[in-house]
Structure 1
Amino acid sequence: MATRRYLQLDVFAARAGTGNPLGVVLDADGMDTASMQALAAWLNLSETVFFVPMQDPAADYRIRIFTPGSELPFAGHPSVGAAWAALDAGLVDADARALVQECGAGLLPVRVEKTADGKRTIELCTPRRQALSTPPVAIPASLQALAAADAAPVLWSNGPAWWLLRANSAGAVRAFAPDFAAIAAFTNATDATGLVIFAPEAGAGHDVVVRAFCPGDAVNVPEDPVTGSANALVAAWLAAHAALPHADGRYVASQGRELGRDGRVQLRVDADGDVWLGGEVQPVIRGSLDW
């Protein structure tokens, strides 16, 4: 039985316990897909990443991303966490300021900033959003009541496919009591990863409030604490509707407070329309696993 290095990180977290946990298997060479999926299901975190041999010589490292229910071509908090882990574990030059991640979505640029106290902040360019055709499935009544009057829900993808619903107020997002069975049926019927609701909220240190629900078969996580791919699509939606909170394209999203977290996601929409996703990462567990 192979012993493999294992990390558990808290991503989009200013301190441990406030973001989204991520499992990281640093030595996944030799693991097949079934083994990776079984371990991700057993760990029961929203995602687990596995470092595997690179296929593209332009990459600095390669990962595969698994939820408890399926493999994803891209996900935000696993990608930010993986870049941090690659630097921390010495899989890449520890002083690198630019990296290239290889994953199911292709090659993604990564930028690394170091603070005065030596901490790293990761910023990753997410895949471009794609608008998907909307299947003829009725949106649950609770979601119809939540939606802003001038913003119909849309189904967009940047790897995972998310329903985006601009809510009528930040208070409505915070107070929303999800019907998980209805959301699961809706996302399963439309082949969506999940549903994200959002609204502007001028709060302490943030500009937008976000919640993401993925109780369906693809992920099987009722409410995700802090969701990078969903936040990146929200940023793309705001840019498309000329509704970014700041003229420079930068803002901070708050997610997870309803689950006892206080995740902060840093977003930037650049002049080319690319969405950059970033935040802080905290190491929580360092060890090994036998699988």
Structure 2
Amino acid sequence: MIAKTKTRKFQQVDVFSSQSLSGNPLAVVMDADDLDTATMAKFANWTNLSETTFLLKPTVPNADYRVRIFTPQQELPFAGHPTLGSCHAWLSLGGKQGRTEVIQQCDVGLIRIKRDGDTLSFLAPNLLKAGPIDNEILKQIMDGLKLSPEMVVATSWVDNGPGWMALLLRSRDDVLNVHPDFRAISGLRVGIVAPCSEDIANVDFEVRAFTAAGFEDPVTGSLNAGLAKWLLSNNKAPSSYVAAQGTALGRAGRIHVRQEADDIWVGGNVTTCIEGVVAL
């Protein structure tokens, strides 16, 4: 049964950017406890953004709020830019402003989020799947991205919920020159990353993300969290670094990664672009 329509607070925010229109947009609907799954899915399909989130009261102790995350096609157990964007909206619309740490509940569990000035960072969740990619799937990816074996340094699963696989390439140019055949990699979530050998506005890595739905995601928190777990555990990245993403799409996303003991934090800026109410 579809819930009775009412007005709810709403924001559309830009994540991983300090300037509007440079990061990854997210729609956030507050006070969504009485919305059913079908209505949430329909609204997410209507916004046609990579993700739309719905904030609800938590159902477990210690959590500040609960979030449900939808793409236009499905619900996700976790995603990075929706985590930061949802926290930003929750704080700006009455959340506990004095807190330096917020606890978000989602389908993968409780996610810790830190506030440091204008930056929000989430604690990267454990990988649900790591290690080698099956040879048949890897060949499908290589063919779909038109990559030759000598361009690829390493490969691995980096799945923390959405199902990401990752390829480490030799150079930033190799990453930016990829022209994916989305039909060939249909149903797969693939990230590519490479170190920046030249000094490009204090950026250490260039990242791109190709979704299972057939488009390139501008800036992707979950992928970068998985990449950080992989790169840092294999000594392929320093303990603190900045990744750029969205360059190929005309965006300027910046993801800040830092390791503190065994914890890896993934963060960036969030900017409110649209604020008002939505009738759902």
Question: TM-score, normalised on structure 2?
Answer: 0.91
Residue 96, structure 1, aligned to residue 122, structure 2 = no
What's the counterpart of residue 117 of structure 1?
none
What's the counterpart of residue 263 of structure 1?
253
What's the counterpart of residue 14 of structure 1?
18
How much does 1:94 deviate? 1.1
What's the counterpart of residue 243 of structure 1?
236
Superposed CA offset, 1:126-162 (max 9, x none)? 2112316744433242546255566342222111111
Q: Which runs of 5+ in 1 are unaligned?
A: 115-119
What's the counterpart of residue 228 of structure 1?
221
* Residue in structure 2 matching 1:48, options 39, 47, 52: 52
| Contact 1:162–1:195 (CA under 8 A) maintained in structure 2 | yes
Distance 1:85 1:93 in 2: 12
Distance 2:43 2:52 in 1: 8
| Contact 1:49–1:66 (CA under 8 A) maintained in structure 2 | yes
What's the counterpart of residue 2 of structure 1?
6
Identical-pair percentage: 41
Distance 2:60 2:215 in 1: 35
Residue 213, structure 1, aligned to residue 241, structure 2 = no
* Residue in structure 1 matching 2:271, options 269, 282, 286: 282
| Contact 1:195–1:212 (CA under 8 A) maintained in structure 2 | yes
Distance 2:64 2:22 in 1: 29
Q: Pick closer, same or farther for the CA change 1:134–1:141 going to 2, 3 Å.
A: same
What's the counterpart of residue 126 of structure 2?
128
Instruction: Find the residue that maps to 1:153 and give its secondary structure.
Output: strand
Distance 1:152 1:255 in 2: 19
Question: TM-score, normalised on structure 1?
Answer: 0.88
What's the counterpart of residue 168 of structure 2?
166
Instruction: Find the residue that maps to 1:196 and give its secondary structure.
Output: strand
How much does 1:54 deviate? 0.8
Q: Which runs of 5+ in 2 are unaligned?
A: none
The RMSD of aligned alpha carbons is 1.7
Instruction: Find the residue that maps to 1:145 and give its secondary structure.
Output: coil
In structure 1, what residue type is equivalent to 2:273?
V
How much does 1:39 deviate? 0.6
Instruction: Find the residue that maps to 1:81 and give its secondary structure.
Output: helix
| Contact 2:143–2:184 (CA under 8 A) maintained in structure 1 | no
Distance 1:50 1:269 in 2: 30
Residue 33, structure 1, aligned to residue 31, structure 2 = no
Q: Pick closer, same or farther for the CA change 1:148–1:232 going to 2, 3 Å.
A: farther
| Contact 2:144–2:184 (CA under 8 A) maintained in structure 1 | no
Instruction: Find the residue that maps to 2:110 and give its secondary structure.
Output: strand
| Contact 2:132–2:155 (CA under 8 A) maintained in structure 1 | no
* Residue in structure 1 matching 2:111, options 108, 111, 114: 108
* Residue in structure 2 matching 1:199, options 185, 194, 200: 194
